[in-house]
Amino acid sequence: MACTQPVSIDPACAPSTLADIAVAALIDEACLTPKPALVDRRGSGAHRDLDLDTMLRSARSLRPTFLALARAAADQEPSQRLREQLARIGREGEVAMLRATNGSNAHRGAIWIVGLLCAAAAMSPLALEEPSELCAQAAVIARFDDRFAPSPAALSNGARVVQRFGVAGARGQAAEGFPHVLEAGLPALHRSRANGATEDEARLDALLAIIATLDDTCLLHRGGQVALEAAQTGAREALQAGGAARPQGRVALARLDQRLTELNASPGGAADLLAATLFLDTLPRVG
């Protein structure tokens, strides 16, 4: 499958446009290469049940989910009823994702993260030009309880890690207004572009900036504190060496890739937040 995902920009930012941008963000994240221990054009990284073709099938299977989320939120105000409606749509999206991937969890975190931003964008078209306002709107929605959430026995790996290690996780990120997107991903993306990096290099720097500061539940699930510390240290070293646009930065990135692959741990939470970063970065072109 090709990694290209052209997006037709609708000045009205209709739900269909938001869904297209969300899918494009997932595809762009999956295709970005070389990422440390993550699925990309080179291969499966530290994963055994995922490859690029599976990631692309998963992303494209989620377009109806993102469309339904945006339609449900359009012209609405944050409320518990809306929160629960969005959660139900998201769980239905998980079923579609698992069907498309033959049972592999490619994008469970991204359904919540990017889907919530998609809903917030549909609610507040005037906030599209300011990512912090959009993230704040998403946070208001996320703070409502979902009375129909799965029982503790059915918790995801990420939710169990949150309980065990006391970290924020995807839901905490949303409730806090996506600080790692606003304070790490987007600034690094814009800074690298301004310094002359290619688009892929700038996106890799954004990913590294997120990894360097995020308590990634995927890393903690697969490799514990050892994997998390290795990822954060390695990402900081790559950025300090100049990032993906500099030879020493690329050497450090390759070293991080090798270390995390050896630990059989991948920064999947950071990858989801990079997709959110790319989603928000595209939205200023709308409207």
Q: What is the mean pLDDT of the chain?
A: 89
Inter-residue contact 62 to 56 (CB < 8 Å): no
CA 71: distance to chain centroid? 21
DSSP strands (E only) in the chain? none
**Is 98 or 161 the better-scoring residue by pLDDT?**
98
pLDDT bucket at 146, cuts 50 / 70 / 90: confident
**Is 10 or 200 the better-scoring residue by pLDDT?**
200
For the segment 81-140, what is each residue's pLDDT rounded down to a tens digit? Answer: 999 999 999 999 999 999 999 999 899 999 999 999 999 999 977 667 789 999 999 999
The whole-angstrom separation of Cα 161 and Cα 154 is 13
**Which pLDDT score, from 0 to 100, does residue 156 have?**
61
**Is 156 or 131 the better-scoring residue by pLDDT?**
131
CA 8: distance to chain centroid? 21
Q: Where are the domains of the chain?
A: 15-285
The pTM (predicted TM-score) of the whole model is 0.91
Inter-residue contact 107 to 97 (CB < 8 Å): yes
Inter-residue contact 80 to 143 (CB < 8 Å): no
Overall average pLDDT of the 4-15 stretch: 60
**Which pLDDT score, from 0 to 100, does residue 287 have?**
46
DSSP 61: H
